[in-house]
């Protein structure tokens, strides 16, 4: 197990290149199973979730080869339709493989997915959507068994705009016979990116980013070289870090419209933010003013994946805030760790009630999920004195070269074995 040792109090200055989006690269890697032609995904992030997804592709018989920061996937010899339980438990996005594996092999077997322990995370919307396309599904000893004679396009209405269910249905419908219409679809930028990738290999999809996506099934798909969009959550994490530590940084390669809900809140806090093409500059010179309330919502609302980081920022603002987590049931597990740093925060149901304090005090804290862990790191950077953030396995799932990037901005952070 590893930890970060952090000496807090340094202001952050400089530029940071934003990685390609974890939540875009993962469904795109799953989509590569759909075609027997080679695809090259450019500049993929060096994170555990991607490494595990690539391992799963290998188990399905896909040939994968890293080439610098790119990866080439050749699924022509893919033949297995079972995703091993050990790997499926490692990441939530293993469930995205159901759609493409069924579309390719007409059968699929997968254990229930893993991922961050932030709530129940059911997969009923995924399975109901696939059933609407003609897939027969049984669940046995923790495995989901799927089979179908043929995939037939249909109209699917999602009970809630689930990102994963929208992506899974797109991945199955792209090779179904006929047209599929997904209503109440998720609108995240990563959904648009998946549509763009699928159309790049010959799919015929439209409407991503709106609430209704139309998929015209096609028989064959080709290959392509593809650069996924930048990671809006990594970018938001760095912007919030700069707001908390003070200083001035520029996040490069990220378009402001993908995190406009965060930028709106940071301006309300008193940060100076300027945008030029795919660069976002943030300047924070003095103690910030609290925002009264933050409610996480599906895109384009405030992203749940920035809830922990923003709550940490609220803890050291002047004033009180209420943060409400509307998407996941238990996404405040990092709160007791923030309290060790002096946070004045109470959680009741889906809301956290924060009274701003002057500064965090360094402490030894434990990271228990990906975004909560990132929130603890940026809190330690802003704290007075020395901190340790223990168990980096969650952070490593989603942030590539995290300490290198933070050090390049002036942070005093080192990784050490425990």
Q: Which residues are catalytic?
A: 116
Name which position in 121, 340, 407, 415 contacts ligand EPZ (CB under 6 A). Answer: 121
With beta carbons less than 8 A apart as the criterion, state whether 406 and 33 touch.
Answer: no
Residues 85, 105: Cα–Cα separation, whole Å: 19
Choose, by CB under 6 A, the member of 116, 229, 240, 288 that binds ligand EPZ: 116
- DSSP codes, 211-265: SEEEEE--S----EEE-PPB-HHHHHHHHHHHHHH-EEEEEES--GGGGHHHHHH
Pair type for strands 224-226 and 39-41: parallel
Alpha-carbon Rg for the chain in angstroms: 21
Alpha-carbon distance 75 to 37, whole Å? 7
Nearest to ligand EPZ of 235, 288 (CB atom) = 235
161/202 with CB nearer ligand EPZ: 161
Q: Is 315 in the site for ligand EPZ (CB under 6 A)?
A: no
How far apart, in whole angstroms, are the C-alpha atoms of residue 139 and residue 141? 7
Q: Rule CB under 6 A: say whether 28 interacts with ligand EPZ.
A: no
Q: At closest approach, how far in Å is the CB of 331 from ligand EPZ?
A: 8
Q: Is 165 in the site for ligand EPZ (CB under 6 A)?
A: yes
- With CB under 6 A, what is the number of residues at the site for ligand EPZ? 27
The answer to whether the CB of 130 falls within 8 A of the CB of 102 is: yes
Whole-number minimum distance, CB 215 to ligand EPZ, in Å? Answer: 18
Residue 383 CB, shortest distance to ligand EPZ, in Å, is 23
Peptide bond into 300 cis (omega under 30): yes
Q: Which of residues 7-26 bind ligand EPZ (CB under 6 A)?
A: 22-23, 26
Which phi and psi angles does 181 have, rounded to 5°? -120, 120
Question: Which residue lies nearer to ligand EPZ by CB, 24 or 269?
Answer: 24
Q: Which of 123, 194, 254, 294 binds ligand EPZ (CB under 6 A)?
A: 123
Taking CB under 6 A as the rule, which mask of x and - marks residues 74-103 in contact with ligand EPZ?
------------------xx----------
Q: How far is the CB of 261 from ligand EPZ (least distance, A)?
A: 12
The reply on whether position 387 binds ligand EPZ by CB under 6 A is: no
Tokens read off for 55: 């391992």
Give the C-alpha separation, 70 to 47, whole Å: 13
The footprint of ligand EPZ (CB under 6 A) covers: 22-23, 26, 92-93, 116, 119-126, 160, 162-165, 186, 304-305, 327-328, 370-371, 398
């Amino acid at each position: 197990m590893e930890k970060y040792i952090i000496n807090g109090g340094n202001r952050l200055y400089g530029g940071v290149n934003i990685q390609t989006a974890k939540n875009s690269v993962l469904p795109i890697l799953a989509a590569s199973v759909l075609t027997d032609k080679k695809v090259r995904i450019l500049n993929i992030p060096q994170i555990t979730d991607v490494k595990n997804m690539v391992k799963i592709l290998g188990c399905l018989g896909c040939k994968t080869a890293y080439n610098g920061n790119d990866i080439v996937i050749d699924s022509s010899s893919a033949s297995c339709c079972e995703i091993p339980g050990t790997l499926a438990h490692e990441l939530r996005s293993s469930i995205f493989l159901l759609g493409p594996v069924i579309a390719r092999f007409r059968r699929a077997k997968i254990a229930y997915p893993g991922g961050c322990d932030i709530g129940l995370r059911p997969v009923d919307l995924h399975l109901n959507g696939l059933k609407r396309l003609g897939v027969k599904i049984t669940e046995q000893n923790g495995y989901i068994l799927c089979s179908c004679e043929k995939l037939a396009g249909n109209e699917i209405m999602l009970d809630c705009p689930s990102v994963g269910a929208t992506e899974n249905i797109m991945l199955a419908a792209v090779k179904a016979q006929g047209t599929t219409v997904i209503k109440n679809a998720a609108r995240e930028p990563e959904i648009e990116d998946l549509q763009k990738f699928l159309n790049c290999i010959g799919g015929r999809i439209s409407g991503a980013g709106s609430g209704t996506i139309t998929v015209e099934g096609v028989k064959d798909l080709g290959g392509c070289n593809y650069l996924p969009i930048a990671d809006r959550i990594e970018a938001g994490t760095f912007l919030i870090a700069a707001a908390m530590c003070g200083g001035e940084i520029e996040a490069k390669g990220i378009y402001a419209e993908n995190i406009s809900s965060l930028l709106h809140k940071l301006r309300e806090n008193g940060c100076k933010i300027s945008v030029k093409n795919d660069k976002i500059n943030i300047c924070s010179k003095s103690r910030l003013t609290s925002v009264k309330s933050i409610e996480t919502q599906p895109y384009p609302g405030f992203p749940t994946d920035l809830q922990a980081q923003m709550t940490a920022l609220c803890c050291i603002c002047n004033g009180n805030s209420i943060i409400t987590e509307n998407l996941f049931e238990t996404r405040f597990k990092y709160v007791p760790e923030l309290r060790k740093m002096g946070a004045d925060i109470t959680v009741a149901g889906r809301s956290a009630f924060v009274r701003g304090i002057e500064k965090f005090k360094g402490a030894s804290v434990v990271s228990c999920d990906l975004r909560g862990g990132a929130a603890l790191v940026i809190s330690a950077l802003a704290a007075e004195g020395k901190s340790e953030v223990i168990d980096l396995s969650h952070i490593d799932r989603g942030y590539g070269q995290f300490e290198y990037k933070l050090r390049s901005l002036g942070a005093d952070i080192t990784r050490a074995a425990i």
